[in-house]
Amino acid sequence: MKSTDNEVLKLVRAALNQTDVAIQKFVSLESLPEPLDCKRGCHYCCFNQPMVTPLETLLIGHQVKQTFTDHEKLELSDRIKKLLAKTDGRSPDEIVMMRHELACIFLQNGMCMVYQVRPAVCRACSSTSAKHCEMIFNSRDHMSRLRCYQQIHQIFRTVHTELVNQCRKMGCQSDSLRIAEAIRDFLKHPNPIEAWLHGEIVFHIRI
């Protein structure tokens, strides 16, 4: 028996809640050498092009359709077009090196427009030094490593893998997706969640 749209969205929300709980449990440890320095309005990590699962895309796309105004949807589509025009034909390494030009499509006035449903990779993106993040961004030294805990990265990897495996178990498209392209495809499709549940290729992978 196929899952319904609501069941799919509930499944993703549970996985993302699991991410938050695991991270909170880790950072609450008294033995942690340094606290996380991430705070509201600190958005240097939002100049990346995160890879997301189809399940996460369905939840984010649903949020956009349900809560964005028509004007906000038009602005979002425009940001997607501009970003994809900049990255078209670029290799992954080239895209990393120009990340200071590539704000996330959901970054507006330093804040995330889909914060409540942001993907696991964004929830796990953390640092013990906001100044170090700022220095890396301003110097454009995008090959430097952030000061972060590998345990938090591992939490992300675990949840991401679980979501990919869930897609496969359901017999649905399971490719990792670039968020801009994935949301573009979601918004273009008349009924993306139902189509995905029926095994259709909803998201097109750019080589």
Domain ranges of the chain: 5-197
Cα separation of 160 and 97, whole Å?
24
Q: What is the pLDDT along the chain (207 residues), one digit of tens a residue?
A: 567 889 999 999 999 999 999 999 999 987 888 999 998 888 999 998 889 999 999 999 999 999 999 999 999 999 999 999 999 888 888 888 888 899 999 999 999 999 999 999 999 999 999 999 989 888 887 777 778 999 999 999 999 999 999 999 999 999 999 999 999 999 999 999 999 999 999 999 865
Query: Rounded distance, CA 56 to CA 140, Å?
Result: 29
With vertex at residue 158, the alpha carbon angle to CA 127 and CA 51, rounded to the nearest 5 degrees, is: 70
Residue 64 DSSP label: H
**Residue that is written with structure tokens 């495809």 in the block:** 185
Helix (H, G, I), strand (E, B) or coil at 51: strand
**Could you tell me the pTM of the whole model?**
0.93
Give me the pLDDT at residue 60, please: 98
pLDDT at 2: 61
Q: How far apart are CA 4 and CA 160, in angstroms?
A: 22
Nearest alpha carbon to residue 134 among 42, 49, 61 = 42
| CA 182 to each of CA 30, 37, 152, 202: distance values in angstroms, whole numbers, following the listed order | 39, 30, 25, 9
Place of tokens 């991401």: 160
For residue 168, what pLDDT is reported? 97
What does the DSSP 8-state code read for residue 170?
Answer: T
Distance, CA of 199 to CA of 59 (rounded, Å): 17
